[in-house]
Structure 1
Amino acid sequence: MGSRRRVIRRDGRSWLAAASALLCVSAALSAPFTSPGVAQADAAGKGGDYVPVSAVLLDTRSGVGGVTGTRGAGSTTAVTALGVGGVPASNVSALMVEITAIGPTASTALTVFPDGATRPVGASLNVSAGQTLSNSAVVQVGTNGKLAVHNSAGSTHVKLDVQGYFTTSTGSTGAGFVPIKHTYIVDTNVGQGTTAGTIASGASRTATLTGSAIPPGASALVANIRVTGATTAGTLTIAPTNEAGTARQVNYLAGSTHEIMTVKLPSDGQVTLTNSGSAVHVVIATYGYFGSSASTGAGMRPLSAVRLANFYNGGGTSIPSGGRASFRIGGAFGLPTLGIAAAAVNVTVAAPTASGSLQVLPGDALYPPDMISRAHAIYFTAGQTARSYFVVADVRSGAFTIHNGSEGTVQILADLQGWFADPLPTVAIEQNTPTSVLQTQPSGTAAGTIEYAYTDNLGRVRVGHQTDPDNYGSVQWTTISGNDAFTGRPGLYQPTGKPMEVVTQNIDSNIWRSAQTATGSASWNPWTSLGGSMPSPPLAAVQADGTSVLFSIEDGRIWHYRSGDSSPTWKILTTTPWYSYSTFDKLTVARIDSGLRMAATTDDGVLHTAVYYPDGTLSDFTDLGGNVTGSTSMIVYPGYRTRVVGRSTDGSVVTKLQNLDGTWPSGWDTVGTLTAVGTPAAILDPVLGRTAIVVRGVDNEVYRVFETAQGSGAWGDWARVNPDVSDPAVTDPTVAPFAGANGQSWMIVFRNANDATRVYERQVVPTGLRTATPAAEFTAHTLPIPPA
């Protein structure tokens, strides 16, 4: 039944065996994630464009910024940031700043943060006594238009410069960020981009920054400027050559110093390098630039600094030589799973036992040596105290990795300051999606309420609350979406001992969740965005321990969101498309003894199954073959044997039942001759003890079929649920078990062309009448109409 493709596991690349000596240190295990709140995926009009400017906000040596004299230990200095030196008084989401410590009397840390806000745990700059060093940072401005600078130890002069600002909305100024692979554009050692040879003390040299890597017309460059061979401390100034513009300055120490900053690009792409210290070599590398207009590139989404990981000062294991730490931010902290072009990260390096470098690599895979050698590098010397380095990491795959290329161990801190969001289109509102139905857990002897949820064709999420399981006229409808618009079938689920929850997809592509204010209540709490930026609605399941897991598929990969985790985030569960021959398209989940049975259809119609274990790990996938289109349904029988039911591409309903030994038969069984549309629904009928399958036919009538006997696997004839009156559906049917005054039963739910919800209640008939005719099988109901 169609071709079969093999799914390759993520660690299946042949060269990985040779790289197995590389130790991966999990950042998630070393320190808990902390959430800064939800950051929305990019969309038109959200801004984040960069405008380069040059302004000194604070210099305690000269009194710029209204403060003169060194700043003492534990001091916090506030300085006006908006409306100064080319920075507008409004429409600013964040600033790109350079913070400099000048001659501190003790090793210290300077932290720049919004004035009036809580000071973040991560410092912006770490520096040793007597040094003059700088570092860049992306920082939001306080509501009063000011920034604050905190000095942790000793006394020091402080200088704070603005390199540029990010807009709050898209306008006629600024440009988005375009990441590129790490590329060297200037190297005085070999004469690349300029003439070869050291730049003498007091000398200047012209260098060209645009060319094959950076296109003419780009407005600014994200540059890693490395000064090497210095015998004394000094400064290197980078300024546009033939036009007035922003100048940048690197403070360097004896030996090797590097700093990452933004550099404004003049129209001819040429800058002048001026050296004020000993003769030095200069190397400039880049991994991205800001384009020529606000309609290009990715927009900055600043965050309050988030501690990604702590491998420092007892916070976690040091990273060994050849080891790595991977940081997945896609799907975490409310960020989307895709559409993240790059991340602004402050990396603090401490206590290296050998001189060397860290390599910053895209993704979270193991890399061959040639790729590591070409990656962006952070350089350090043995025994140095903590030093901070601003990094813009390529996270188009949702993650980045720091590799220790030195011969010794090293400790690091990593703090996320913001991310660059690629434009993501809004998700279309899917029409005529099925209704979800679930009965709440009983309260004592009282039967639980029945809850209905669907998204109408306008994007409104409507929840029906049936207080009496036997009275369909008791349903109260509430539109809980407010002015937001959603799409797809909502998921209803109830974690053990908690109120029921609903989860669905906003048209901004993020996954949103709400919960009843109390179990069985008709009122719901406000929505919370879980991020994710998925192209399809989520699927919800409750594990045996009562905790919930959400699943979704993005770009062929299965993602999961575990509510039982201390800080839940979206994480990849399966291979990425570039590691596999197949990508997943649809997913179904059912609870079994060992976890959750997953049935995933690939893009070529082949069904695969795996077990999702309670700890969040996944078994290997088993190929069930087939030529299945759309989603499937599953039934779990006693003994935890699973039956899958789907629709073949020719419209026939097909099924496969797991063998007693846990294996699966090679063939599929066809259920009768009915041609179906949409996804079949299946249930174990508590009245007959036989499997029932319900589906919509090509005439849009709803049909059902039963097994001829319990466990027979043989099927009777398809018949309309209502054999007497035409009752066409515009949605696929849903089946749901429930308990009422007469015991266990089940229902079929669908909506018609008038958006009316139709319910066919399975009749609980006396034992001797269980061969009842179709007319006696179901009782039809129309639920009250929701308010307009």
Structure 2
Amino acid sequence: MRVIRNALRAAGSAAVALTLVLTAHQAPALAAPSAEAVEAAAAGSLGTYEPVGPARLLDTRTGLGAPAGAVTDNQVLNLQVGGRAGVPATGVSAVVLNVTVTGPTLPGHLTVYPSGAAQPATSNLNFVAGRTIANSVTVPVGAGGQVAILHRGGSTHVIADVTGYYLGVDDAAAGSYYFVTSPDRILDTRDPSFGGPLPGHSWVTLWLNFDPEFNAKIRAYAVNVTAVRPAANGHLTTWNGVGDPPNSSTLNFVTNRTVPNMAIVPVGPCPPEYGCGNQPAIAVYNGSELGTHVLIDIFGVYAEEDYGMRFQPIDPTRIADTRVGLGAPAPLGPTTTATITAPESVTTNDTYALSMNVTAVKPTANTHVSVWPDEEGLPQPTVSTLNPYAGETVPNAAIAEIGVESFAFNVYNHAGTINLVVDVAGRFDFVAPPLASGDVARAGAQQAAGPVAPRVTVGGHQTHAASVN
């Protein structure tokens, strides 16, 4: 039987208002851990995160990373990720990729897994014929620093951009630990204060302020980015806001369709002319000819601290499939919430969050799906994880918190009836801070607070127009 954990979330997680003035999210405060538990805390770099790029590693249209030409049914691409685009050749446990299909001739799916391993019974990206669609994929690195991409269904071109990696050794310089925030909206161009949709070939720089000390340690934001009813086909690109937009994409959209995608976005310095000090910034670029509304929801940050959550990849594992009663007994009806308990095979006593892929399967109506931890007193968030249309099968990645006692998360369906599939690729385990000069009080207080980012107080944004040749 699982042991109830002592180190729990405490007050102070960020909850973002549309004005970008954020309020505190209250969570239960329980007993601090013992000095013995604090002294047992580990140090090192294993499972910490390093952002890169984004940089393109694969494009079968041009022959980058694989022979030029569409990928056929049941074909496997072995993509070299180690030793490219800032990813070390060795010492990497997993990489974060944004994987895109374009021009598929039939409905199908991609499964991404470590090269040399058995093909798992999971999927990372489901698609329909003719549509360009992307999804964020966190995948363990396999033999020779490669990952395998299996395609099923007709033929399609495949693109992959790398945005970061997790360290697989303990003797390297430590990267960033993961901290949760409340899942809340930090940008909504539909708000009248923004002035309308983000124009084509323009970008918006967005910054948040945690506190001066923590600001300096932040290396990336974990966000969900959504294009809302764009006026033309196109794509969005997220990056650290430094220089012009890179040659990569975060999500692809078609006219008048709402499309989300998760992204771990490296942060950059906020331009001094905006008067935002050392507040870490990101940017999102609209690569369409016409405007689109853009939503950005934050749910976590990566920071160079000496405590927080570290990532441990696992073999891709399906933990829920409502089509067969796995994880939840039946499809979700309208305005229905299901609670899914993460099995012990994908968690430890220190697990606070899971890296997962959530797939909506053929809803009977246009709907949205929200995911949040099963925590007493924690309300359903006002943001969504998925925005599927009737009859389509679409995925989105998520870093989902689980309840500190229940080890469960909630999934809400807004309209119609929907089947949901949840595949887990890894877990985030909390590591308490190491003792510094016997400072048990500091370490104990930080462990009692749990892996929660400091409260955010203010943020802002600035729009830019790109020059188009």
The interval holding the TM-score normalised by the smaller chain is 0.7 to 0.9
Between the aligned partners of 1:228 and 1:425, the Cα distance in structure 2 is: 41
Alignment-mate amino acid for residue 320 of structure 1:
G
Aligned-partner SS, 1:336: coil
Q: Partner of 1:263 in structure 2?
A: 265
Q: Partner of 1:95 in structure 2?
A: 95
Between the aligned partners of 2:45 and 2:73, the Cα distance in structure 1 is: 39
Q: Partner of 1:393 in structure 2?
A: 400
Residue 295 of structure 2 is aligned to residue 308 of structure 1? no
Aligned pairs for 1:176-187 within 5 A: 176-187=177-188
Instruction: Choose the corresponding residue for 1:333, options 345, 351, 370.
Output: 345
Q: Partner of 1:289 in structure 2?
A: 301
Q: Partner of 1:205 in structure 2?
A: 203
Residue 229 of structure 1 deviates from its aligned partner by 1.8
Q: Partner of 2:144 in structure 1?
A: 144
- After superposition, the Cα gap between the structure-2 partners of 1:146 and 1:383, relative to the gap in structure 1 and judged at 3 Å, is same
Between the aligned partners of 1:288 and 1:213, the Cα distance in structure 2 is: 15
Between the aligned partners of 1:232 and 1:373, the Cα distance in structure 2 is: 30
Alignment-mate amino acid for residue 379 of structure 1:
N
Q: Partner of 2:126 in structure 1?
A: 126
Q: Which whole-Å deviations, capped at 9, do the CAs of 1:293-336 have from their partners, x for residues lacking one?
A: 4x24211011111110111378762112233332223x711632
Alignment-mate amino acid for residue 206 of structure 1:
V
Contact 1:290 1:297 in 2 (8 A): no
Aligned pairs for 1:210-229 within 5 A: 210-212=208-210, 216-217=215-216, 218-229=218-229
**RMSD of the TM alignment (CA)?**
2.6
Contact 2:352 2:403 in 1 (8 A): yes
Contact 1:100 1:159 in 2 (8 A): yes
Aligned-partner SS, 2:155: coil
Between the aligned partners of 2:47 and 2:403, the Cα distance in structure 1 is: 17
Between the aligned partners of 2:153 and 2:375, the Cα distance in structure 1 is: 36
Q: Which whole-Å deviations, capped at 9, do the CAs of 1:339-395 have from their partners, x for residues lacking one?
A: 223111101101111212111111266x78xx22435432222222x1111011112
Q: Partner of 1:549 in structure 2?
A: none
Instruction: Choose the corresponding residue for 1:318, options 327, 331, 343.
Output: 331
Alignment-mate amino acid for residue 285 of structure 1:
D
Q: Partner of 2:242 in structure 1?
A: 242
Q: Which whole-Å deviations, capped at 9, do the CAs of 1:538-557 have from their partners, x for residues lacking one?
A: xxxxxxxxxxxxxxxxx9xx
Alignment-mate amino acid for residue 389 of structure 1:
N
Residue 245 of structure 1 deviates from its aligned partner by 9.1
Between the aligned partners of 1:213 and 1:222, the Cα distance in structure 2 is: 18
Q: Partner of 1:175 in structure 2?
A: 176
Residue 43 of structure 1 deviates from its aligned partner by 3.2
Contact 2:94 2:313 in 1 (8 A): yes
Between the aligned partners of 1:183 and 1:405, the Cα distance in structure 2 is: 18
Residue 138 of structure 1 deviates from its aligned partner by 1.2
Residue 424 of structure 1 deviates from its aligned partner by 5.2
Q: Which whole-Å deviations, capped at 9, do the CAs of 1:682-720 have from their partners, x for residues lacking one?
A: xxxxxxxxxxxxxxxxxxxxxxxxxxxxxxxxxxxxxxx
Q: Partner of 1:362 in structure 2?
A: 373
TM-score for both structures, normalised by structure 1: 0.45
Contact 2:178 2:301 in 1 (8 A): yes
Between the aligned partners of 2:66 and 2:381, the Cα distance in structure 1 is: 46
Q: Which whole-Å deviations, capped at 9, do the CAs of 1:246-267 have from their partners, x for residues lacking one?
A: 7653212332001001101002
Q: Partner of 1:410 in structure 2?
A: 418
Residue 107 of structure 1 deviates from its aligned partner by 0.7
Aligned-partner SS, 2:143: coil
Between the aligned partners of 1:184 and 1:67, the Cα distance in structure 2 is: 41
Residue 202 of structure 2 is aligned to residue 190 of structure 1? no
Between the aligned partners of 2:41 and 2:102, the Cα distance in structure 1 is: 39
Residue 80 of structure 1 deviates from its aligned partner by 1.1
Q: Which whole-Å deviations, capped at 9, do the CAs of 1:424-449 have from their partners, x for residues lacking one?
A: 599xxxxxxxxxxxxxxxxxxxxxxx
Between the aligned partners of 1:67 and 1:313, the Cα distance in structure 2 is: 39
Alignment-mate amino acid for residue 352 of structure 1:
P
% identical equivalent positions: 26
Contact 1:357 1:379 in 2 (8 A): yes
- After superposition, the Cα gap between the structure-2 partners of 1:212 and 1:145, relative to the gap in structure 1 and judged at 3 Å, is closer
Aligned-partner SS, 1:422: strand
Aligned-partner SS, 2:258: strand
Q: Partner of 1:18 in structure 2?
A: none
Instruction: Choose the corresponding residue for 1:299, options 300, 310, 318.
Output: 310
Contact 1:219 1:290 in 2 (8 A): yes
Alignment-mate amino acid for residue 369 of structure 2:
L
Between the aligned partners of 1:319 and 1:42, the Cα distance in structure 2 is: 41
Contact 1:328 1:364 in 2 (8 A): no
Between the aligned partners of 1:59 and 1:74, the Cα distance in structure 2 is: 18
Aligned pairs, number: 377
Q: Partner of 1:253 in structure 2?
A: 254
Between the aligned partners of 1:186 and 1:313, the Cα distance in structure 2 is: 38
Q: Partner of 1:79 in structure 2?
A: 79
Between the aligned partners of 2:66 and 2:370, the Cα distance in structure 1 is: 40
- After superposition, the Cα gap between the structure-2 partners of 1:345 and 1:334, relative to the gap in structure 1 and judged at 3 Å, is closer
Aligned-partner SS, 2:380: helix
Aligned-partner SS, 1:144: helix
- After superposition, the Cα gap between the structure-2 partners of 1:144 and 1:152, relative to the gap in structure 1 and judged at 3 Å, is same
Alignment-mate amino acid for residue 65 of structure 1:
G
Q: Partner of 2:166 in structure 1?
A: 166
Q: Partner of 2:27 in structure 1?
A: none
Contact 1:252 1:258 in 2 (8 A): no
Contact 1:229 1:279 in 2 (8 A): no
Q: Partner of 2:442 in structure 1?
A: none
Alignment-mate amino acid for residue 233 of structure 2:
A
Q: Partner of 1:64 in structure 2?
A: 64
Between the aligned partners of 1:66 and 1:296, the Cα distance in structure 2 is: 39
Alignment-mate amino acid for residue 397 of structure 2:
F
Aligned-partner SS, 1:159: strand
Contact 1:182 1:286 in 2 (8 A): yes
Residue 191 of structure 1 deviates from its aligned partner by 6.1
Residue 108 of structure 2 is aligned to residue 111 of structure 1? no
Aligned-partner SS, 2:72: coil
Residue 113 of structure 1 deviates from its aligned partner by 0.7
Contact 1:180 1:288 in 2 (8 A): yes
TM-score for both structures, normalised by structure 2: 0.74
- After superposition, the Cα gap between the structure-2 partners of 1:256 and 1:423, relative to the gap in structure 1 and judged at 3 Å, is same
Residue 50 of structure 1 deviates from its aligned partner by 0.8
Residue 412 of structure 1 deviates from its aligned partner by 0.7
- After superposition, the Cα gap between the structure-2 partners of 1:181 and 1:314, relative to the gap in structure 1 and judged at 3 Å, is closer
Contact 1:42 1:422 in 2 (8 A): no
Contact 1:319 1:411 in 2 (8 A): yes
Contact 2:401 2:409 in 1 (8 A): no
Q: Partner of 2:31 in structure 1?
A: none
Alignment-mate amino acid for residue 49 of structure 2:
Y
Between the aligned partners of 1:308 and 1:138, the Cα distance in structure 2 is: 17
- After superposition, the Cα gap between the structure-2 partners of 1:244 and 1:422, relative to the gap in structure 1 and judged at 3 Å, is farther
Contact 2:41 2:432 in 1 (8 A): yes
Between the aligned partners of 1:213 and 1:288, the Cα distance in structure 2 is: 15
Q: Partner of 2:460 in structure 1?
A: none
Between the aligned partners of 1:227 and 1:150, the Cα distance in structure 2 is: 28
Unaligned segments of structure 1, at least 5 residues: 1-40, 427-554, 556-788
- After superposition, the Cα gap between the structure-2 partners of 1:143 and 1:282, relative to the gap in structure 1 and judged at 3 Å, is same
Aligned-partner SS, 1:197: coil
Q: Which whole-Å deviations, capped at 9, do the CAs of 1:513-551 have from their partners, x for residues lacking one?
A: xxxxxxxxxxxxxxxxxxxxxxxxxxxxxxxxxxxxxxx
Alignment-mate amino acid for residue 148 of structure 2:
A
Instruction: Choose the corresponding residue for 1:420, options 415, 428, 432.
Output: 428
Between the aligned partners of 1:354 and 1:168, the Cα distance in structure 2 is: 43
Between the aligned partners of 1:119 and 1:78, the Cα distance in structure 2 is: 13
